[in-house]
Structure 1
């Protein structure tokens, strides 16, 4: 693999990029057209750092983070999965109580470096 392909691959493996791509696919649009933009909802650098290698160079093998995005619950897992669930209130539920009506999962596998 040449240097440019390797750099593109490492950029695409970032959780923030996988989230943007999953949202775009879920919405049937391109990553540059999703609204609101991700950084209006969550800090992409902070999201990426949650799943970055430790100071010793070890991968973070377990964990996930969830946040609400435009009426959806987005869950990002350390194994590279991104799940998107549509949140909808029913007339008998309080605004804080939501039920999953639609689910979308993007299972793009991150590539691992030479370990």
Structure 2
């Protein structure tokens, strides 16, 4: 996992994960926890914002395909904007 954290008000939490070893939803939860300083078990559930199983399926299948385009999914959770790509990058910024 590559970690480039610049958390705080209006700052960015950017990490790269290996989706062969970490599911995209787990990566999102870990990144949200780092960005907010909260325990991962205390975070708001992703189910109200996105289907975690569909997120995993989409990003894992896109990661294994032979195309040059990066599939990216964006959504907002508890005041944090999340971008997660099939390349393993998860970027969390404070929502406007």
- TM-score norm. by structure 1 comes to 0.57
Q: Over aligned residues, Cα RMSD in angstroms?
A: 2.3
Aligned length, in residue pairs: 76
The reply on whether 1:24 has 2:29 as its aligned counterpart is no
Q: Superposition pairs for residues 1-115 of structure 1, below 5 Å?
A: 13-34=22-43, 36-53=44-61, 59-60=64-65, 62-88=70-96
> Partner of 1:24: helix, strand, or coil?
helix
- Deviation readout 1:7-43 (Å, 9 max, x if unpaired): xx97851110100111011111221111x21122211
For structure 2, list consecutive stretches of 5 or more residues without a partner in the other structure.
Answer: 1-17
Name which structure has the greater RCO, CA cutoff 8 Å, separation 6+.
2
Over 3 Å counting, the alpha-carbon distance change for 1:45 and 1:11 in structure 2 is farther
Moved segments of 4+, more than 3 Å: 9-12
Q: Distance in 2 between matches of 1:27 and 1:82?
A: 14
Pair member with larger Rg: 1
- TM-score norm. by structure 2 comes to 0.67
* Contact 1:11/1:17 (8 A) holds in 2: no
Structure with the bigger percentage of strand: 2
> Partner of 1:52: helix, strand, or coil?
helix
